[in-house]
Amino acid sequence: MFKKLIFGAVAVAMVSGAQVNNAYAEDTLYLPSLSYRTGPYAGGGVPIANGFSDYMTMLNERDGGIGGVKVVVEECETGYNSQKGVECYESTKSKNALVYNPMSTGITLQLVPKAPVDQIPVFSMGYGLSATAVGEKFPWGFNYPTTYWSQLSAILKYIDSKGGVKGKKIGYIYLDVGYGREPLPLLEKLSKSMGFSIARFPVAGKEMQNQSSHWLNVRKEKPDWMIMWGWGAMNSTAIKEAAKIRFPMDHFIGNWWAGADADLAPVGKIGKGYLAANFSGIGTDFPAIKDIFTHVLDAGKSTQTTDRDQVGDVLYNRAVANAVIVAEAIMAAQKSTGKKVINGADMRLGLETFNLSADRLKELGLEGFMAPIKASCKDHEGGGGIFVQQWNGSAWEKISEPISPETDVIRPLLEEAAAKYIADKPDWKTQTCS
């Protein structure tokens, strides 16, 4: 009798579990979030995870989801570790995952070859493998609104506008991992075409808080400008060390992962004048961000954002931009397929057809928040530009108009890199774009 009861209970549990799973897959839009709230890079990971999750929660609370379907964001902790990122991917892909936002170039590089196999697109917003911008070669990879290579080109264009780069020495300090090395081939090529010399300063992960040697070398090399591809504690340490050797802050420019509030808060006044690239709005003065306060934070619906001041920060807002693109792509996919609940293949289509125009941004309550993007089959980057922001000692200020990359120079290089990537992969599926 007892055995029968146990068997019965197990059977009921299994059947109801299966039903729950089916309901989970059929009635929701499932978005895995590869977050990192722990580990050495958590300072950047926390606001990114919060911004993404809060925007989706806001859509659920304000609009009832996307196209009437609730969005489920499930976080999986990667610790910014590629191996754990892949484990997260493998454990969530069968839940009808629509798209992966790896939040790490290392994880992106691991997922790019898996995307066509599992038919789930990878969207690395402004990071990852630059060559995925070439839609014909990478049907399942996207990096709107712009790539690392385009960003570097725009940064050099900014430097060029401040006295020219020809004949100058550009120092490049970078986290010595896949992310930091990504723009190196382009930097080498542009140095020849634009006529500047390079001094490289690689910073190993375990030395990121111990950079005095690197900055002694900077003092020795005397570069005219410094560009930084840093992340986490590397950024604040580098800026403090730069101030220590009296490097002019207005000639030190970080990429968009080296210009967060979390990077400059520990630096304070000594970082005044430091520059950084950015592509998403700063602050809370946008109706959609105010809706996050109203429908999520004030309503007690945010499970993780405990610090209200974080909303509007550089990284929080960038994650909102990421979420906006994902939401727009879902809507485009729903429209194209006529389905409310879509799958990864539909999402890929959405990522190639959404149109985030200036009017649409205004409609979303995000006027001026980011550059408009018109998705396409051919261009998975969107050709977006950057703007430059400057630290005034206590906050960031936008100091430039949008700077577009040298697309005519960058695009052939991206195509060359894409062709090289797939050259030794005979089974790699490409697509033809009209």
Partner 1 sequence: MELLKGIFQYPFEEMANGPAFLLQVLWEGFVAGTLYSLLALGFVLIFKASGVFNFAQGIMVVFAALSLVGFHAAGLPAYVSLFLALAVMGALAWTVERVVLRKLVNQPDLILFMATIGLSYFLIGFGEFIFGGEPKSMITEELGLPTGSSVIDIFDDIVILQHLDIAAALIAAILVIGLALFFSKTRIGRALRAVADDHQAALSVGISLNQIWAIVWFAAGIVALATGIMWGARSDVSFALQIVALKALPVLILGGFTSVPGAIIGGLIVGFSEKLFEVYWGGLLGGGVEGWFAYVVALIFLLFRPQGLFGEKIIERV
Which residues here bind partner 1, judged by CB under 8 A? 37-43, 45-47, 176, 200-210, 212-214, 216-217, 219-220, 232-233, 236-237, 240, 244-246, 262, 265-266, 268, 306-307
For partner 1, give the closer residue by CB, 237 or 278.
237
Least Cβ distance, residue 402 to partner 1 (angstroms): 30
Residue among 88, 91, 27 nearest 60 (CA): 27
For partner 1, give the closer residue by CB, 40 or 67.
40
Least Cβ distance, residue 302 to partner 1 (angstroms): 14
In the chain, the amino acid numbered 235 is: N
Per the rule left: phi > 0, alpha: psi between -120 and 50, beta: everything else, 427 is alpha
Determine how many CB atoms are found less than 10 A away from the CB of residue 130.
27
For partner 1, give the closer residue by CB, 256 or 387.
256
Least Cβ distance, residue 249 to partner 1 (angstroms): 15
For partner 1, give the closer residue by CB, 244 or 398.
244
Using CA atoms, how far residue 80 sits from 83, 108, 258, in Å, is 9, 11, 16
Least Cβ distance, residue 214 to partner 1 (angstroms): 8
For partner 1, give the closer residue by CB, 171 or 281.
171
In the chain, the amino acid numbered 91 is: S
Least Cβ distance, residue 317 to partner 1 (angstroms): 16
- Is residue 372 within 8 Å of 361, Cβ to Cβ? yes
Structure tokens at 307: 């610090």
- Is residue 330 within 8 Å of 68, Cβ to Cβ? no
Structure tokens at 41: 């890079």
In the chain, the amino acid numbered 31 is: L
Least Cβ distance, residue 342 to partner 1 (angstroms): 33
272 Cβ contact partners less than 8 Å away, ≥ 6 residues apart? 249, 391, 392, 393
- Is residue 208 within 8 Å of 180, Cβ to Cβ? no
* Residue owning tokens 């659920």: 60
Strands 355-356 and 275-278, by their bridges, are unpaired
For partner 1, give the closer residue by CB, 13 or 245.
245
For partner 1, give the closer residue by CB, 244 or 378.
244
Least Cβ distance, residue 239 to partner 1 (angstroms): 10
